[in-house]
Amino acid sequence: KAGVTQTPRYLIKTRGQQVTLSCSPISGHRSVSWYQQTPGQGLQFLFEYFSETQRNKGNFPGRFSGRQFSNSRSEMNVSTLELGDSALYLCASTLVPAGGTDTQYFGPGTRLTVL
Protein backbone atom coordinates (compact mmCIF):
# COMPACT_ATOMS: atom_id res chain seq x y z
CA LYS A 1 0.00 0.00 0.00
CA ALA A 2 1.45 3.37 -1.01
CA GLY A 3 2.22 5.82 1.78
CA VAL A 4 1.35 9.47 2.10
CA THR A 5 2.74 11.48 -0.77
CA GLN A 6 3.45 15.17 -0.77
CA THR A 7 4.32 17.39 -3.69
CA PRO A 8 6.48 19.19 -4.33
CA ARG A 9 9.25 18.02 -2.01
CA TYR A 10 11.14 21.30 -2.21
CA LEU A 11 9.99 24.80 -3.03
CA ILE A 12 11.65 28.21 -3.10
CA LYS A 13 9.50 31.33 -3.12
CA THR A 14 9.99 35.04 -2.46
CA ARG A 15 8.21 37.21 0.07
CA GLY A 16 4.73 38.24 -0.96
CA GLN A 17 4.13 35.28 -3.23
CA GLN A 18 1.65 32.53 -2.55
CA VAL A 19 2.17 28.78 -2.56
CA THR A 20 0.03 25.64 -2.82
CA LEU A 21 1.16 22.33 -1.38
CA SER A 22 -0.47 19.01 -2.14
CA CYS A 23 -1.00 15.87 -0.09
CA SER A 24 -2.36 12.51 -1.18
CA PRO A 25 -3.32 10.35 1.81
CA ILE A 26 -3.08 6.61 2.05
CA SER A 27 -5.85 4.95 0.07
CA GLY A 28 -8.97 4.67 2.21
CA HIS A 29 -7.87 7.30 4.73
CA ARG A 30 -10.34 10.14 5.05
CA SER A 31 -8.69 12.47 7.53
CA VAL A 32 -5.79 14.68 6.52
CA SER A 33 -3.91 16.93 8.94
CA TRP A 34 -1.28 19.53 8.18
CA TYR A 35 1.63 20.55 10.39
CA GLN A 36 4.40 23.13 10.19
CA GLN A 37 7.82 22.12 11.53
CA THR A 38 10.53 24.67 12.27
CA PRO A 39 13.70 24.43 14.39
CA GLY A 40 12.42 27.11 16.75
CA GLN A 41 8.77 26.13 17.22
CA GLY A 42 8.90 22.42 16.49
CA LEU A 43 5.88 20.68 15.03
CA GLN A 44 2.74 22.82 15.11
CA PHE A 45 -0.74 21.75 14.10
CA LEU A 46 -2.27 23.79 11.27
CA PHE A 47 -5.60 22.13 10.52
CA GLU A 48 -7.39 18.86 9.91
CA TYR A 49 -9.83 17.98 7.15
CA PHE A 50 -12.33 15.17 7.06
CA SER A 51 -14.92 14.61 4.35
CA GLU A 52 -14.00 17.91 2.71
CA THR A 53 -14.69 19.84 5.93
CA GLN A 54 -12.22 21.51 8.23
CA ARG A 55 -12.75 19.86 11.63
CA ASN A 56 -9.91 21.31 13.69
CA LYS A 57 -7.75 24.37 13.35
CA GLY A 58 -4.53 25.47 15.03
CA ASN A 59 -3.42 29.00 15.88
CA PHE A 60 -2.20 30.22 12.52
CA PRO A 61 -3.17 33.41 10.68
CA GLY A 62 -5.75 33.42 7.93
CA ARG A 63 -2.98 33.43 5.30
CA PHE A 64 -2.87 29.69 5.88
CA SER A 65 -5.79 27.86 4.36
CA GLY A 66 -6.58 24.44 3.08
CA ARG A 67 -9.15 22.28 1.42
CA GLN A 68 -9.91 18.65 0.84
CA PHE A 69 -11.34 17.08 -2.27
CA SER A 70 -13.86 14.27 -2.60
CA ASN A 71 -11.05 11.76 -3.16
CA SER A 72 -9.53 12.86 0.21
CA ARG A 73 -6.56 14.57 -1.41
CA SER A 74 -5.78 17.83 0.31
CA GLU A 75 -4.09 21.08 -0.53
CA MET A 76 -2.86 23.85 1.69
CA ASN A 77 -2.26 27.39 0.55
CA VAL A 78 -0.16 30.11 2.07
CA SER A 79 -0.71 33.60 0.73
CA THR A 80 1.51 36.67 1.07
CA LEU A 81 4.51 34.61 2.13
CA GLU A 82 6.75 35.87 4.91
CA LEU A 83 10.32 34.86 5.73
CA GLY A 84 9.05 33.13 8.86
CA ASP A 85 6.95 30.78 6.77
CA SER A 86 10.09 28.91 5.79
CA ALA A 87 9.56 25.45 7.23
CA LEU A 88 8.93 21.79 6.59
CA TYR A 89 5.21 21.29 5.96
CA LEU A 90 4.03 17.84 6.89
CA CYS A 91 0.82 16.12 5.99
CA ALA A 92 -0.57 13.18 7.96
CA SER A 93 -3.42 10.86 7.07
CA THR A 94 -5.61 8.81 9.37
CA LEU A 95 -7.93 5.93 8.63
CA VAL A 96 -10.57 6.39 11.34
CA PRO A 97 -10.80 9.99 12.49
CA ALA A 98 -12.62 9.15 15.67
CA GLY A 99 -10.23 10.40 18.29
CA GLY A 100 -6.73 10.91 19.56
CA THR A 101 -5.75 7.27 19.58
CA ASP A 102 -5.78 6.90 15.81
CA THR A 103 -2.52 6.37 14.02
CA GLN A 104 -1.31 9.27 11.95
CA TYR A 105 0.86 8.38 8.98
CA PHE A 106 3.10 11.23 7.95
CA GLY A 107 4.36 12.05 4.52
CA PRO A 108 7.97 13.11 3.87
CA GLY A 109 7.03 16.79 3.88
CA THR A 110 7.50 19.76 1.61
CA ARG A 111 10.49 21.96 2.43
CA LEU A 112 9.48 25.56 1.74
CA THR A 113 12.11 28.28 1.66
CA VAL A 114 11.01 31.91 1.49
CA LEU A 115 13.64 34.38 0.30
Partner 1 sequence: TQLLEQSPQFLSIQEGENLTVYCNSSSVFSSLQWYRQEPGEGPVLLVTVVTGGEVKKLKRLTFQFGDARKDSSLHITAAQPGDTGLYLCAGARGNYGQNFVFGPGTRLSVLP
Shortest distance in whole angstroms from residue 15 CB to partner 1: 26
CA 31 – CA 93 distance, rounded (Å): 6
Q: Which is nearer to partner 1, 7 or 17 (CB)?
A: 7
Cα Rg for the chain, rounded, in angstroms? 13
Cβ atoms of residues 90 and 78 within 8 Å: no
Binding site for partner 1 (CB under 8 A): 4, 31, 33, 35, 42-45, 48, 50, 55-56, 90, 92, 94, 97, 99-109
Closer residue to partner 1 in complex, CB, 5/79: 5
The nearer residue to partner 1, 79 or 106, going by C-beta atoms, is: 106
Cα–Cα dist 20/77, whole Å: 4
Q: How far is the CB of 28 from partner 1 (least distance, A)?
A: 16
A 10 A CB-CB count for 1 gives 6
The residue among 52 and 102 lying less far from partner 1, judged by its C-beta, is 102
On whether the CB atoms of residues 9 and 112 are closer than 8 A, the answer is no
